[in-house]
Structure 1
């Protein structure tokens, strides 16, 4: 007389270990891809914010050149601060004396390390009188740049974007 044994269902310990090792390998190879993707997203945000700020600075300068904003002799025509782009400047040609606004708010540098800093303080500012190689703040804001010491995926420091 033969005894019938029930067939066993499930996985052996070896099969489970192999599956876990394969899963760990897949996840560890995906982590660098996720880091690059996150960095690329921050870089795109940095480019967009730099474009917005520089466009607003150029629009302010154009408004000065067109006579929509008063300029005193000796001034460059660039805004004295980034905050003035948000606060607005009175238009002397408008009979109602409405303000001209260039930005709704100052964007934040996505690579700024200190979350307590106000948005304006996250940017480096270069005055019209300073050189490109050694940017320095002054009486006006001619250009903005990131204060981050990091390098982008294109191997160019963010300060030079």
Structure 2
């Protein structure tokens, strides 16, 4: 081969390598348009997921509300049963329910003869309404219904017959939380 041909062949090989390198670098990267399309897709998916996350938080708060209502109502029923059994003493002319929710957390001496010296407690602590303002004490987060009060228009009385949420929100089932 002549020197001219050797130089031309080497030149072609060299150009081929440089071109291959530069073409490979371009093929490995992303264009601005590809990145914008990816961001748009991610934004759309995030906008779909946000309402589902809010609904999950609402559903969990509703579960907490149901548990708290069951816990308080069970304690009220246990207090009434203890009063009727003579374990908790109180005025005979009043309904057998506690005067406040805090009474359910106080230790009470069992008044029955066969259990002298034993104590009982109906709640460890008053659970809070998850829909209430965070700064309020747990006892103040609940609406109280007295024994003589109507279920459709609950009013407080000298005793706590039932509790309800003070929240004006409506549950996912369409029922206002006050009616739970």
Instruction: Identify whether the pair has TM-score above 0.5, normalized to the shorter chain.
Output: yes
Aligned: 1:45 with 2:48: no
Aligned to 2:5: none
Aligned to 1:110: 130
Select which of 65, 90, 110 maps to 2:109. Answer: 90
What is the alpha-carbon distance in structure 2 between the residues aligned to residue 74 and residue 15 of structure 1?
80
What is the alpha-carbon distance in structure 2 between the residues aligned to residue 129 and residue 90 of structure 1?
28
What is the alpha-carbon distance in structure 2 between the residues aligned to residue 65 and residue 34 of structure 1?
47
Q: Equivalences for 1:36-75 in 2 at 5 Å?
A: 36-75=55-94
Bigger CA radius of gyration: 2
Select which of 145, 155, 168 maps to 1:149. Answer: 168
Higher RCO (CA 8 Å, separation ≥ 6 residues)? 1
Query: What stretches of structure 1 move > 6 A for 4+ residues in a row?
Result: none
Unaligned runs of 5+ in 2: 1-10
Q: Aligned to 2:68, what secondary structure does the other structure show?
A: helix
Q: Equivalences for 1:12-31 in 2 at 5 Å?
A: 12-31=31-50
Aligned: 1:79 with 2:79: no
How far did 1:71 drift? 2.7
What is the alpha-carbon distance in structure 2 between the residues aligned to residue 82 and residue 62 of structure 1?
16
How far did 1:74 drift? 1.4
CA distances 1:48-95 after superposition (whole Å, capped 9, x unpaired): 000000000000000011111113121100111110100132221232
TM-score (norm 2): 0.85
Q: CA RMSD in A?
A: 1.2
Aligned to 1:35: 54
Which shifted more, 14-23 or 98-107? 98-107
What is the alpha-carbon distance in structure 1 between the residues aligned to residue 80 and residue 92 of structure 2?
15
Q: Aligned to 1:153, what secondary structure does the other structure show?
A: coil
Higher helix proportion: 2
Aligned: 1:11 with 2:33: no
Unaligned runs of 5+ in 1: none
